[in-house]
């Protein structure tokens, strides 16, 4: 995946997180590496929504064992995970 494509994935994830979890805080400044769970932006069910988004909107099948902070803990982590899985297929 090229850098541009990675940027696009990052933006789409960011847009999804903002639209669905931060719509009540329009001024919130979220960096790519801010921990989504740690900062209370998503809860346990929010994680489920993120998985569904990655599968349905980004076309990447998520293995159960891949649902970790390393892969889903931040916008940047999700983008890198998507990049890695796409590159492997």
Partner 1 sequence: MCGIAGVARAGASGVCESTLARMAHALIHRGPDGHGVWADEHVGLAHTRLTVIDLVSGAQPLANEDGQVLVTYNGEIYNYRELRRQLEARGHRFRTTSDTETIVHAYEEWGDACVERFIGQFAFAVYDRRRRRVMLARDRFGVRPLFYAERAGSLYFASEVKALFATGEVPAAPDLAGLDEVFTMWGARAPRTPFLGVRQLEPGTIAVWERGRLRVSRYYALDYPEARDETPDALERLDALMRDSVALRLRADVPVGGYLSGGLDSSITCALASAGSPHTLRTFSVAFEDPALDESAFQQVVARDLASDHAVTRIGAGDIARVFPDVVRHTETPVVRTAPAPMYLLAQLTRERGITVVLTGEGADELFLGYDLFKETKVRHFCLRRPGSHARPRLFDRLYPYLGHGRAGEMWRRSFLDAGAPSDPLFSHLPRFVSTARTKAFYSAETRAALTGVDVVDELRQSLPAAFARWSPENRAAYLEMTTLLASYLLSSQGERMGMAHGVEGRFPFLDHRLFEFAAALPTGSKLRGLKEKEILKRWARRVVPPSVTARHKQPYRAPDAPAFFGTGQPEYVRELLSESSVRRVGLFDPAAVAGLVRRAESGRVTGFGENQALVGILSAQIWHDTFFRSAAVPAPARAPAFPSALGAAASAA
Q: How far is the CB of 69 from partner 1 (least distance, A)?
A: 6
Question: Rounded to an integer, what distance in angstroms lies between the CA atom of residue 49 and that of residue 33?
Answer: 19
Residue numbers at the binding site for partner 1 (CB under 8 A): 19-20, 23-26, 37-38, 40, 43-49, 51, 62, 64-65, 67-69, 72-73
Q: Residue 8 or 68: which CB sits closer to partner 1?
A: 68
What radius of gyration, in Å, describes the C-alpha atoms of the chain?
A: 12
Q: Residue 8 or 25: which CB sits closer to partner 1?
A: 25
First to last CA, the chain: 11
């Amino acid at each position: 995946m090229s850098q541009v494509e990675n940027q696009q994935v990052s933006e789409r994830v960011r847009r999804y997180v903002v639209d669905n979890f931060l719509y009540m805080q329009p001024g919130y400044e979220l960096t790519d590496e801010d921990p989504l769970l740690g900062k209370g932006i998503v809860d346990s069910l929010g994680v489920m929504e993120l998985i569904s988004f990655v599968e349905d909107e980004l076309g990447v099948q998520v293995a159960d064992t891949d649902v970790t902070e390393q892969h889903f803990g931040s916008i940047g982590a999700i983008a890198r995970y998507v990049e890695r899985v796409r590159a492997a297929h």
